Amino acid sequence: MTFVVKGQKDRHRVVFKRRAMASLGARGASSSASNLVDSALHGNTRLQPSSAEASAQAGDEVVDSIFRPPIFPTMSARTARASMVPDLFTSLPPIRDLLNTQSSQIQEETIQECLPFLSGLEPGATYNDHGVPHLERNRHIQFLHKSLKKLPAPYVAADASRPWMFYWALAGLSTLGEDISQYREPLISTVRPIQNATGGFGGGNGQMSHLAPTYGIVLALAIVGGEEALDLIDRRAMWKWLAALKQPDGGFQVCVGGEEDIRGAYCAAVIITLLDLPVELPRDSPAWSGEGATLLTGLAEWVRRCQTFEGGFSGLPDAEAHGAYAFCALACLCILGDPHVMIPKYIDVPRLISWLSARQYAPEAGFSGRTNKLVDGCYSHWVGGCWPILEACLDGPSRILAVGASPRAATHSVGSLYSREGLIRYILCCCQDRTKRGGLRDKPSHSSDSYHTCYVLAGLSSAQHKWHFNTAETKTEMGGNLASPYQWTCEPFDGEVQIYNEEDRVGTLHPVFVIPEGAAEQTRAYFASKGGF
């Protein structure tokens, strides 16, 4: 599969063909397949198949049974509760490695775990005509509200992650359309004492400043908005602290004396642009030189060094590629400049597309984070969030020609580079906890948590919408340093059959900052209006 960054050469696109499921009246072979699945799932005792059923089974596709008893690719309409479900999501993989290892066994178990949910066999779930259940919006909202209340005692071990929990819950609630203004005052009072006089935020009271919790708190404050929340941030101290983290090779440490990795590059870039900080370095910065080095000097070059031979990105040069690091790399470059300029300049785009494409599995249809690893709901964002950035890179800049006009009127789009349908199926079928607990999860055998709830919803939002990098003059009025990330526009994605009900559409999250659309622009505009410290 070849993707060209520039030019008009042909691009290959995979189209999934659907076939109608067996009707309710035709029970034959499909009912026997359903009986086998029901027995495997619930231990139900079934009668031996009739001669007609045995004949039908003999005509079905033979599936290698080295690992598990076969599950037939076509499920009945009675059990699937759907009239049309692509075989891709209800069949075992057509090509399977016969070398039996621990990794292959766990992968096989994951497939068997997900197939019943993808095939419409989850007890109590209601499916639409495409075999997709509804988004349990109210349960997920309740779950996220609860995560912002008093937590059980074992959460003491996660004290340093509290800033992340604020961000995960607030971003998730916003994506679900919930009003989060009630949390503005509690957030302010909670994070005020964990800001250090030397700049930045720690994970909790008395903890040293670190880029990860600082990133989480800055985004959480941007989500709740308001002058009191934004003015809480000591921008001068933040600038001095970031200068202390800046390294001569172009990257950033995550804390003073800590590791230097691509998380630091992305988090620092987010903070610099959202707070409209000056990029000049003070003389006491480790990266200061008499040649005019800045906070941004060498940053794009350092990010480039993290691309691996596979095509993905590692946390630091010469390490293993990981989905979250790929997102950090792409988003960081989109802060430093326009995606259609920066990404081809610093990244081997075809290799990255190849690696990212290999992260989406079938039949599960979700994403894995690394080579030879399992699907995980959180990569709906970390990997899924890479695609809108790459699609915008390949599309090139668009421009709204008239008020209300679609950005597509001014550009040719490469379309969708991944299976949005597949990801939506994995999220809505496999990642929802439909019990009273609510929330979203890694996969059906795991419990829901606020981390997965946030990033699974982010992936769902990305799959439901199409982002464009827009060069309209009205989007560049704020100017100043690092203005590119504020030139994105969004519309509902309509490039294929919509398999989910419109009521299950979620809100939009900025493709670079991963906060509600408009929040980043408002935050940047507020700090830009202050004119310095």
Could you tell me the sign of the dihedral formed by the alpha carbons of 439, 441, 444, 445, in that order? Answer: negative
Q: CB under 8 Å to 45, separation ≥6 — which residues?
A: 39
Tokens linked to 16:
């999934």
Determine which one of 162, 235, 322, 425 is catalytic: 322
The residue among 462, 457, 430 whose CA lies nearest residue 444 is 430
Among residues 514, 477, 479, 475, which one has the least CA distance to residue 386?
A: 514
Whole-angstrom distance, CA of residue 324 vs CA of residue 315: 9
Catalytic member of 139, 162, 235, 370:
370
Residue 489: C-alpha distances to residues 141, 267, 332, 404, 509 (Å): 26, 22, 18, 12, 11
Of the candidates 234, 376, 433, 504, the residue annotated as catalytic is 376
510 is catalytic: no
442 in catalytic set: yes
The answer to whether the CB of 270 falls within 8 A of the CB of 220 is no
CB atoms within 10 A of CB 344: 14
Which residues does residue 309 pair with via DSSP β-bridges, in sequence order? none
Query: How many C-beta atoms lie closer than 10 Å to residue 228's C-beta?
Result: 12
Paired residues of 360 in beta bridges: 367
The single residue of 234, 261, 433, 449 carrying the catalytic annotation is: 449
Told to judge if 376 belongs to the known catalytic residues of this protein, a careful annotator would answer yes
**Given the residues 210, 442, 451, 465, the one annotated as active site:** 442
- Could you give the CA distance from residue 163 to residue 161 in angstroms, rounded to a whole number? 6
Residue 39 φ then ψ, to 5°: -65, -40
Give me 340's structure tokens. Answer: 């259609």
Measure Cα distances from 303 to 136, 396, 482 in Å.
39, 22, 17
Which of 373, 399, 437, 446 is flagged as catalytic?
Answer: 373
SS3 470: strand
| Residues 6+ positions from 324 with CB-CB distance below 8 Å | 369, 379, 382
Work out the end-to-end distance of the chain between its first and last CA atoms, rounded to an integer number of angstroms: 51
What is the distance of C-alpha 190 from the center of its chain?
27
Backbone angles phi, psi at 294, to 5 degrees: -125, 180
Is 373 an active-site residue?
Answer: yes
Query: Which residue out of 140, 452, 466, 468 is catalytically annotated?
Result: 452
In angstroms, the CA 99 to CA 108 distance is 12
Distance (Å, whole) CA 366 – CA 167: 24
Euclidean distance between CA atoms 334 and 343, whole angstroms: 8
The residues, any chain, with a CB within 8 Å of residue 60's CB and separated by 6 or more, are 29, 33, 72, 73, 74
Residue 511, token pair as written in the block:
């493709």
Active site residue 451: no
* 379 among known catalytic residues: yes
With residue 491 as reference, give the H or E element that holds it: strand 488-492
Structure-token match 């499916």, residue found:
127
Among 267, 332, 334, 378, the one annotated catalytic = 378
Residues with catalytic annotation?
A: 322, 370, 373, 376, 378-379, 442, 449, 452
